[in-house]
């Protein structure tokens, strides 16, 4: 007789009941993960252990009528990770994305996370991960706000008024209690207005829709950039005031002089080194750089105009007091986050354990005894 295996299934509502919308829980979880990243107690995919994920890229055309073809934001991506420390678990986020989903009453991407025993590979839990993924993405600038932003920050400007920035703002506001006003900027006024409604209803803050980018940035103490790639978001150096904290979650183009004058903190230097390595291996470094969040920075590093990645600072080092974060109220501090599966696995792990403790979710049987044992 072999071993019985069960795993815990968590629906979206179950993840809510287990605390996926609890900012304190998610920020504390992400902060702990940053320290593990800094110590190197994690693995992601690929031989460099820092691969962001592995995608199915669809061809422009296909002779096979059922084969998916390329479309806006259309892809499947798997993001595996091992996370150490008290987590000591493997897992994978897997999602499909298709802009056409919106006409079917679905979110653009549909995400799930599986957690696995690191030794046997047995599934521990399979869960809905749309909220989880947004929560972990927003918790990351939440941690950065905790450690890098001025505590007296009052005005937050939101660049790109989508779902990800809703989560970023929730977490930023949670960490900065003096925030009183949110300025919403988007290519589309309807998106900015929808976001403003969310700010009023959910966060109860004063809100302003501003369709001029320079004006939107004028009073910003904190800027959260999470726009999609519809059109480049280009920000002039002079538009960012002294003392501001720029939290980058989506693509943004800054003047070179901004990058050269800001204090820059990365989410995980190993990840950025892996991006540069992948750019070199791609054979067209410039084209590769153009498609990724940190591309502009890597170009300046290659040109010797910014410090090398190995001489730079990661947020984990700031949390562990190994390197300086913000050193004055006047300096402009920028935090760059590219998204890592470690955060999906780490948050999924805590939700799974809360669910076990509270009896949330449904145990499902993989087998009473494996047929092949």
Judged by the rule CB under 6 A, the positions of this chain that interact with ligand NAD are 137, 159-165, 186-188, 191, 226-231, 233, 249-251, 337-339
- Which residue pairs, CB below 8 angstroms and at least 24 apart, start in 107-112? 107/163, 108/73, 109/73
Rounded to the nearest 10 degrees, the angle between the axes of helix 163-175 and helix 130-148 is 40
Report CA Rg, the chain: 21
**Smallest distance from ligand NAD to CB 360, Å:** 25
**Which residue lies nearer to ligand NAD by CB, 7 or 343?**
343
**Smallest distance from ligand NAD to CB 371, Å:** 39
**Smallest distance from ligand NAD to CB 221, Å:** 20
DSSP type of residue 289: H
**Which residue lies nearer to ligand NAD by CB, 156 or 355?**
156
Short-list 98, 125, 102, CA closest to 112: 125
**Smallest distance from ligand NAD to CB 198, Å:** 12
Question: 280 is written with which tokens?
Answer: 């070199």
Closest residue to ligand NAD: CB criterion: 162
**Which residue lies nearer to ligand NAD by CB, 159 or 360?**
159
Short-list 217, 203, 233, 238, CA closest to 155: 217
**Which residue lies nearer to ligand NAD by CB, 8 or 191?**
191
Short-list 5, 11, 6, CA closest to 127: 11
**Smallest distance from ligand NAD to CB 194, Å:** 9
Question: 361 is written with which tokens?
Answer: 């979710």
Residue whose tokens read 């009453």: 105
**Which residue lies nearer to ligand NAD by CB, 216 or 360?**
216
- Cα–Cα distances (Å) from 290 to 2, 62, 237, 299, in that order, read 52, 27, 20, 10
**Smallest distance from ligand NAD to CB 320, Å:** 22
DSSP type of residue 311: G
**Which residue lies nearer to ligand NAD by CB, 155 or 233?**
233
**Which residue lies nearer to ligand NAD by CB, 253 or 364?**
253
Would you say 144 and 265 are in contact if contact means Cβ atoms under 8 Å apart?
A: yes
**Smallest distance from ligand NAD to CB 159, Å:** 6
Short-list 268, 246, 276, 271, CA closest to 259: 246
**Which residue lies nearer to ligand NAD by CB, 92 or 338?**
338
Residues 251 and 285: their CA atoms lie apart, in Å, by 17
**Smallest distance from ligand NAD to CB 303, Å:** 25
């Amino acid at each position: 007789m072999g071993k019985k295996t069960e795993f815990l299934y968590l629906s979206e509502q179950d993840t809510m009941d287990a605390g996926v919308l609890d900012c304190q829980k998610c920020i504390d979880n992400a902060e702990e993960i940053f320290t593990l990243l800094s110590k190197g107690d994690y693995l992601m995919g690929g031989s460099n252990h820092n691969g962001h994920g592995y995608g199915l890229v669809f061809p422009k055309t296909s002779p096979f009528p059922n084969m998916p073809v390329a479309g806006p934001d259309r892809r499947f991506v798997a993001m595996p990770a091992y996370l150490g420390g008290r987590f000591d678990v493997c897992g994978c986020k897997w999602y499909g994305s298709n802009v056409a989903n919106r006409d079917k009453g679905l979110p653009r991407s549909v995400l799930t996370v599986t957690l696995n025993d690191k030794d046997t590979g047995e599934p521990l839990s399979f869960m809905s991960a749309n909220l989880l993924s947004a929560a972990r993405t927003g918790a990351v600038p939440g941690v950065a706000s905790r450690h890098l932003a001025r505590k007296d920050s009052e005005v937050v400007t939101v660049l790109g008024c989508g779902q990800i920035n809703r989560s970023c703002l929730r977490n930023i506001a949670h960490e900065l209690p003096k925030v009183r006003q949110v300025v919403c900027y988007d290519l589309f006024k309807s998106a900015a207005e929808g976001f403003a409604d969310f700010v009023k209803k959910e966060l109860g803050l004063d809100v302003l829709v501003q369709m001029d980018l320079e004006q939107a940035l004028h009073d910003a103490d904190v800027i959260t950039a999470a726009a999609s790639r519809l059109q480049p978001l280009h920000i002039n150096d002079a538009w960012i005031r002294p003392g501001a904290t720029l939290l980058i979650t989506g693509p943004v183009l800054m003047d070179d002089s901004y990058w050269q004058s800001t204090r820059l903190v990365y989410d995980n230097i190993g990840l950025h080194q892996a991006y540069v390595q992948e750019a070199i291996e791609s054979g067209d470094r410039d084209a590769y750089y153009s498609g990724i969040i940190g591309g502009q920075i890597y170009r300046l590093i290659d040109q010797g105009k910014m410090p090398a990645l190995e001489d730079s600072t990661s947020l984990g080092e700031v949390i562990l007091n190994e390197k300086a974060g913000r050193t004055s109220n006047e300096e402009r501090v920028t935090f760059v986050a590219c998204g890592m599966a470690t955060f999906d696995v780490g948050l999924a792990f805590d939700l799974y354990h809360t669910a076990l403790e509270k009896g949330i979710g449904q145990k499902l049987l993989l087998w009473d005894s494996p047929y092949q044992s």
